[in-house]
A and B are shown apart, each in its own frame.
Chain A
Amino acid sequence: MRTKSDKQWAFVGHIIMICLTICAIAPFILLITASLTEEATALRDGYSFFPAKWSLDAYGYIVKQWAVIGRSYLVTITVTAVGTLVGVSISAMLAYVLSQRDLPGRGVILFLITFTMLFNGGLTSTYIIYTQVFHVKNTIFGLLLPNLLLNAYYVMMFRNYFENSIPKALVEAAHIDGASEMKIFRHIIVPLSLPMVASVSMIVALMYWNDWTNGLYYLSSNSKLQSIQTLLNNMNENIKFLQQNNNPALSGAAVNIPSATVRMAIAVVGIAPILLMYPFFQRWFVKGATVGAVKE
């Protein structure tokens, strides 16, 4: 039953959330209008919510490159999907194992995992291991494996969740009934952690989607497997490089540098798919999945 106090709190909640929503959406709308502004207007007036002149030129520029962009979209989507699926699965499994307090060697494994969060061998040796020992250069594994598949941070988050938010009684009951660990994992743990699994999946998916360094290091410049972020980011970085080196002989290439509005359009193109994908995840962030499983 909702009391007056509940309603007051809800009201305050609404106010705060509306403020936050405006703060969050306004810049995004600005991004979109900026990408639809006519070039000269943008140079003269800066970006605005109501540009004096609209234009689709920025997107036209992108469409011209569509062959390359289309293919890179495909690669990015594949890598994101596979990476997220595999990565989240093995993270959650490891976390589940680590959440069993009586596991021998648990402390050691925990320490080893934590250690990796802080100490890194560095790019050079990682690169050598992956390319010389495992030969992933110019393969799709070069995009999937380095650094993104498992993140100790999320293993810890999962473990924390499993230990504290899943009623122990359920797991014990299943053990007594003789269920195997995998069964328990698949039929009890995962369904009860759907919100957590969904959030972590979304975040991991975002990391894969936004990653451009794997493509940069593990693919040659003429590889067909360039992801969309690598393409877009390389463009930005090359622009910045030319600017920093400030040498006119180099800037002959500046002829082909996309202008401000095109860079905005590129950003929109880079974000759009993941925004569209988001509602798909959102349905799991709701109440109801876990309640009522245990009668106190």
Chain B
Amino acid sequence: MKKKKRIIWKKYIPLYIMALPALVYVIINNYMPLYGMQLAFRELDYSKGVFSGKFVGFQNFKFLFATKDAWMMTRNTVLYNLLFIVIGTVFGVTVAILFNEIRCKIAARIYQSAILIPYFMSMVIVSYLAFAFMGGENGFINNTLLKLLGKEPISWYSEAKYWPFILLFIHTWKGIGYSVLMYTVRLLTINDEYYEAASLDGATKWQKIWHITLPFLKPALILMTILSVGRMFYSDFGLFYQIPMNSGHLYNVTTTIDVYSFRALMNLGDITMASATGVYQSAVGFVLLLGANMLVRRFSKDDSLF
């Protein structure tokens, strides 16, 4: 009995040591500050020390639910996330697979570099560029494209109905380089011999992809999906706030929880309300993540997060 225990620990100690720097950092960076979450449940009182204000329960959360807008912003956040997850994954995998078929190395490198450029740009710059395309008077689309087609100019920033597509487009445009990269990196590890063997067996291209390529990507896809589900109540602030240029017409279609919270708090500067928003998003996300993870566990234990 004793001998067994010693062997086990001795084997694992080097591993624990390897993991130590990272774990120490996580403790310092993430766990030590956790006490700050209580700010969401307290009143601010600097004379007593910022975390010692009066305990006020859920009062700071009221503003997130008090208005009719609350339902709207939650709906927007969730629907956009679902849209992004589904379209993003399908499109990303498709492009990655097609990209992998390209044999010309030079072309491949050019393509890969090019599609990563949007990923490097900040959303503020993207919003300026988007305005250059969609601006009412001088925008490229109205001025050049629609004129060529003989159509009337459209006031893009005033028509809410186009915006789910516009935002989807910009989100995909910005992220496609990253997605393709992530999938490509895994596709590279698939041994060519599998494909060759399949060819010998007479498999078509579609069959090869369905039976070899996709299963190889499955673990990554599941992981990324679970993580995205956990972030269901978060949104890319830059995308939803900067790109629509704060145009009132678009509010109903582009306001997410983060944007609403930012707008409401900008003039009040209330850090307890900001903290409450964060706690709200975290709590919901956590529950969803647990749910997704349990679901995955049922079907393939290995692929679950924990």
Residues of A at the B interface (CB closer than 8 Å) are 1-3, 5-6, 9-10, 12-14, 16-18, 20-21, 23-25, 27-28, 30-31, 34, 45-49, 90-91, 93-94, 96-98, 100, 103-104, 107, 109-126, 128-129, 133-134, 145-147, 149-150, 152-153, 155-157, 160-161, 163-165, 180-182, 185, 195-196, 199, 203, 206, 210, 236, 244, 260, 263-264, 267, 270-271, 274-275, 278-279, 282, 285-287, 289-291, 294, 296
Contacts and interface: CB of A to CB of B under 8 A. Distances in A.
Given A118-B282, A150-B25, A182-B14, A10 B138 contact: no
Interface in B181-227: 181-182, 184-186, 188-189, 191-193, 199, 204-205, 216, 219-220, 223, 227
Nearest to B220: A160
B98 A16 contact: yes
Given A30-B129, A114-B306, 14 more contacts: A12-B98, A13-B100, A14-B107, A17-B98, A20-B176, A24-B117, A46-B143, A90-B22, A112-B26, A121-B35, A125-B39, A157-B182, A160-B223, A206-B119
A52 B135 CA distance: 18
Nearest to B30: A116
Contact of A263 (B28, B128, B193, B285): B128
Contacts of A120: 30, 33, 37, 278, 282
Nearest to A93: B18
Interface stretch (B62-70, B80-88, B108-116, B151-159): B108-116
B115 A164 contact: no
A192 to B, nearest CB: 8
Given A100-B15, A150-B25, A165-B186, A122 B112 contact: no
Contacts of B182: 157, 199
A94 B23 contact: yes
Given A21-B111, A28-B117, A117-B227, A5 B205 contact: yes
A181 B50 contact: no
Contacts of B105: 286
Contacts of A116: 26, 30-31
The 6 A-B residue pairs whose C-beta atoms are closest, nearest first, are A125-B36, A46-B138, A121-B33, A121-B36, A94-B22, A110-B306
B112 A97 contact: no
A164 B186 CA distance: 9
Contacts of B189: 165, 195, 290
A100 B16 CA distance: 11
Contacts of A109: 19, 23
A127 to B, nearest CB: 8
B14 A180 contact: yes
A215 to B, nearest CB: 15
Contact of A25 (B100, B114, B140, B193): B114
Interface SS of A by simple majority? helix
B53 interface: no
B305 interface: yes
B99 interface: yes
Nearest to B124: A236
Contacts of A2: 103
Given A90-B22, A160-B223, A282 B112 contact: yes
Contacts of A147: 29
Given A25-B117, A122-B275, A111 B306 contact: yes
Nearest to B184: A285
A230 B29 CA distance: 21
Interface string B126-154: 10110011010111100100000000000
Contacts of B192: 291
Contacts of B59: none
B113 A282 contact: yes
Contacts of A34: 128, 132
Given A116-B30, A150-B25, A181 B15 contact: yes
B128 A23 contact: no
Most buried by A among B22, B101, B140, B188: B22
A119 B286 contact: yes
B120 interface: yes
Given A24-B118, A149-B29, A291-B191, A125 B34 contact: yes
